[in-house]
A and B are shown apart, each in its own frame.
Chain A
Amino acid sequence: MVGIVIVSHSAKAAEGIRELAMQMASPETPILAAGGMEDGGIGTDAFRIQTAIEEADRGEGVLLLVDLGSAIMSAETAIDFLDEEIDVRIADTPVLEGAVSAAVTASSGGDLDEVLAAAMEARSMQKLS
């Protein structure tokens, strides 16, 4: 299964988004939250993200969903730190909606390209029809 890592400046936000995504996915889907700093502060920590990527990887790659600003820089730093060859992509999409879409596709066995495509569809998701 493709892994999913949710990166946010806030540990609570990342955990909450993970919770919502898990509701749409089978329980064994590797969805991890990498939010906030070790001391509980607001921010992003590339090492936390790196650990989450390694834990989420089942050999089929990992998709990262990120919130604002430096989350992307920290995510890219984390990718540089990986020793193992893990196929990691960053989805340029709203973090919550993207995580939910990605979770559904990952859970049903989609490959990394498909999970990324699902996450990207969240960009054009319409809420009021």
Chain B
Amino acid sequence: MAAKIYECIEVIGNKIIENKDFLTDLDRQIGDADHGINMARGYTEVLKTLNQDNTDIGAVLKDTGKVLIKTVGGASGPLYGTAYMKAGKVMSGKTEVTADDAKAMMDAIIGGIKLRGKAEQGEKTMLDSIIPAYEALCAGIDSGKDLKACLEDMCSAASAGVEYTKTIRATKGRASYLGDRSIGVQDPGATSSLYTLEAIRDFAAKL
């Protein structure tokens, strides 16, 4: 499993870049039409600048976070950047991800996003896909399922979380300026978080 962390980031980045237009379109409906552009710009730079041979997962995650903070530009920059840096701290010096590491990373990611954005679940943000994903991941691991099945559950929960964002109004971020008019559209950041988790699942499935 060593030396593959770059490949995992690559799968995430490519999935985000492929869905750039859709993410931007969601943000056009409830924001300022830049989420896909922001995220694609960030990951393009990440894939260009990361050291592909570094096997220290923590170091690679931290570098990814820094580049996103530097290049994304919108709110998603400091949010995803902080998330990666917190995950990197959990994985510092490690070259493999255990089930416990996966839980600890998700927990740290949620803590980081809350710290940075001061949002809670139910405010129509990326937390609405990530928190249910974390809960499903933990439930799967605790009931003794194998990690691949747990990642499948995690993605199903994240996907349901994205659907849920269609039904609520935004109270954080730019979409909150729209009030009730933000209802009916899925949150762009919750959607990019779903893609991130799906990319991780797809990457892990091939190991």
Contact = CB atoms under 8 A, between A and B. Distances in A.
Interface in B35-79: 38, 41, 66, 69-79
A73 interface: yes
B194 to A, nearest CB: 21
Contacts of B77: 43-46, 70, 74
B117 interface: yes
Contacts, number: 54
Interface in A43-68: 43-47
A39 B41 CA distance: 11
B90 to A, nearest CB: 17
A77 B82 contact: yes
Interface of A: 9, 37-39, 41-47, 69-70, 73-74, 76-77
* B38, B69, B79, B173, most chain A CB atoms within 10 A: B69
Nearest to B66: A47
B69 A46 contact: yes
Contacts of B76: 70
B72 A43 contact: yes
A38 B78 contact: no
Helix, strand, loop or mixed for chain B's interface?
helix
* A38, A39, A77, most chain B CB atoms within 10 A: A77
Contact of A38 (B70, B75, B174): B70
A45 B70 CA distance: 5
A45 B116 contact: no
B75 A70 contact: yes
Given A45-B69, A47-B69, A69 B174 contact: yes
23 contacts: A9-B73, A37-B71, A37-B73, A39-B71, A41-B73, A42-B73, A43-B38, A43-B73, A44-B73, A46-B77, A47-B66, A69-B74, A69-B75, A69-B173, A70-B73, A70-B75, A70-B76, A70-B78, A73-B78, A73-B79, A74-B77, A77-B81, A77-B82
A73 B70 contact: no
* A9, A44, A47, most chain B CB atoms within 10 A: A44
A76 B81 CA distance: 13
A69 B117 CA distance: 10
Contact of B78 (A37, A41, A77): A77
Nearest to B45: A39
Interface string B114-144: 0011000000000000000000000000000
Contacts of A43: 38, 72-74, 77
A39 B73 CA distance: 10
